[in-house]
Amino acid sequence: MIGNSRKLLSILGPYTPAPWREHYSLSRLFFNFYLLVMGSFVAIAIFADFVISTAVKGITDDYTSRFMHGTIVLIEDELFRKPRSKWPQAVAALDQKFAYRLDIVDRWTLHLPPKQAEKLDNGELAIDAKGDVLYHRLKQTSQVLVVGPISPDRNPEYHRGMPLDLRISLLTWSLIGVCLAIAVWLWVHPVWRDLEAMRQTTRALGEGLFEARAPAMRSNAFGPLAETLNGMAERIQRLIATQKELSSAISHELRTPIARIRFALEMLADSEVPADRERLWRLMEGDLDELDGLIDASLTYARFGREQPDLQLTAVELAAWLDEQVEASRLLEGKLDLQVDTATLPSMLYVELDRRTMPHAITNLLRNAMKYAQGKIRVSAQVDDEQILVHVDDDGIGIPADERERIFSPFTRLDRSRDRSTGGYGLGLAIVQLVMEQHHGTASAAESPLGGARFTLAWPLSQSVTES
């Protein structure tokens, strides 16, 4: 097996973690997010301006026409007071008095949209597409009075540097950009710190430092993610610790029965006495049973410690369920006096428990009591302070006060129980503890009224019900 493992390692090669990317920076995150937000804002603003301008264009044109109608009529009356040959000079003189341009052109030189051309020919004011130049056909002539551009920014003689509307637009967008940059920075900075903390934690986990944990997140958005990551790290750390513990402990526990089997085989080869050979066969069968029991207990403990399954709670009548569990173990108790006392329980008390895992806790406590009891075992139950308490008492040698917490650790056996016939494998009580943790309860040891040890299972009564 060792040779095959080395061969497999030589094929796969040593594990080398993938290099980490270092192109993760606050400035890059800020710049990318700022461009996204600013670009989206500008696109929305342009689209909104286009929609609004299109919607109010008719209203704006109508207002311009009514606003300029009186001025244009006065200009027209002024022109008709003079001969048509004097109109160019009159328009030039009037042009000097207005802040916008005046001109006279022939009708055929204008190319207006059909709707505006129809209005012009009907004697109404026509407006160009930009709403800044007005056209009025002079009475009973083919000439048209052109007024505008009305806006000073479109008249070169009135330009004084950058147009006002452009200056206002640049100032407005500059202020918007600065304010948006500050807002984006205030949002991105704590997010970046949380992401960086998460990255450092995942990097440490990737390098095998399973004790690493993500710190408290400043952003509420990453709080659940950090909790999930820490929970995953704790689970991985627990699984690896359990694996190492099991591997180390099992390898140690296997040596004794294997050594005894090897020694018995050597003696069996040299012995020709039938009685000796029969005794050696029985010893080897006992060692094989011990190996089988150790492997079964180890697998059960590993399964409980690894899977942490969701509880499938079922309501059961506690008194009847305890009787059922004890009856299943009576065949193992031999001459011991095994009693069940549920007199203090409320009548028809129903509790919720997982019927797959809770029997492991009761059975392991009963087996442990049977190993040490001198003649009597008592199983009792009670309700105390919103908790279900199940006691397993024996009249054995008891447990010292300073050892009552340690005995629930895996592969822990007290010095006086090193004999495998009573000491077991040190996994039964560890399995009991895991089962109670899954039920949000505890397992504890104390001194028994019978003189030996008392083991108590306690879990919440909050989901239990009593039928009257």
pLDDT in tens, 188-237: 777 777 777 888 888 888 777 778 888 887 777 777 888 888 888 887 88
> Could you tell me if 133 and 150 lie in one domain?
yes
37 found inside a domain: no
Structure tokens at 257: 């029965």
Mean of pLDDT over the chain:
75
More confident residue, 154 or 197: 197
303 found inside a domain: yes
> Could you tell me if 268 and 328 lie in one domain?
no
The pLDDT score that the predictor gives to residue 447 is: 92
Across 1-15, 53-67, 152-166, 193-207, the highest mean pLDDT is recorded for 193-207
> Could you tell me if 150 and 200 lie in one domain?
no
248 found inside a domain: yes
Q: Can the peptide bond before residue 114 be classed as cis, meaning omega within 30 degrees of 0? A: no
CA–CA separation, 262 and 3 (whole Å): 22
The pLDDT score that the predictor gives to residue 76 is: 75
> Could you tell me if 127 and 234 lie in one domain?
no
> Could you tell me if 93 and 128 lie in one domain?
yes
The residue out of 161, 185, 217 marking a domain boundary is 161
Say what angle helices 428-438 and 358-372 make with each other, to 10 degrees: 150
Residue 357 and residue 438 in contact, taking contact as beta carbons nearer than 8 Å: yes
More confident residue, 78 or 246: 78
> Could you tell me if 319 and 454 lie in one domain?
yes
357 found inside a domain: yes
How many domains is the chain partitioned into structurally? 3
Q: Which residues carry out catalysis?
A: 252
> Could you tell me if 322 and 432 lie in one domain?
yes
More confident residue, 262 or 411: 262
On the question of pLDDT at 463 being above 60, the answer is: no
The residue out of 130, 161, 192 marking a domain boundary is 161
32 found inside a domain: no
The pLDDT score that the predictor gives to residue 466 is: 42
The residue out of 308, 327, 355 marking a domain boundary is 308
The pLDDT score that the predictor gives to residue 224 is: 81
Lowest mean pLDDT among 24-33, 310-319, 378-387: 24-33
Work out the average pLDDT over 173-186.
Answer: 81
User: Could you read off the pLDDT of 355-394 as tens digits, one per residue?
Assistant: 888 888 888 888 888 888 888 999 999 998 888 999 999 9
> Could you tell me if 327 and 449 lie in one domain?
yes
313-317 β-sheet, strand order? 313-317, 349-354, 465-466
> Could you tell me if 192 and 144 lie in one domain?
no
> Could you tell me if 185 and 152 lie in one domain?
no
CATH number at residue 404: 3.30.565.10
412 found inside a domain: yes
29 found inside a domain: no
More confident residue, 111 or 412: 111
Categorize the per-residue pLDDT at 15 as very low, low, confident or very high, splitting at 50, 70 and 90: very low
> Could you tell me if 227 and 368 lie in one domain?
no
> Could you tell me if 182 and 298 lie in one domain?
yes
6 found inside a domain: no
On the question of pLDDT at 49 being above 90, the answer is: no
Q: Which residues contact 43 (CB under 8 A, 6 or more apart)?
A: none
- Domain containing residue 280: 163-308
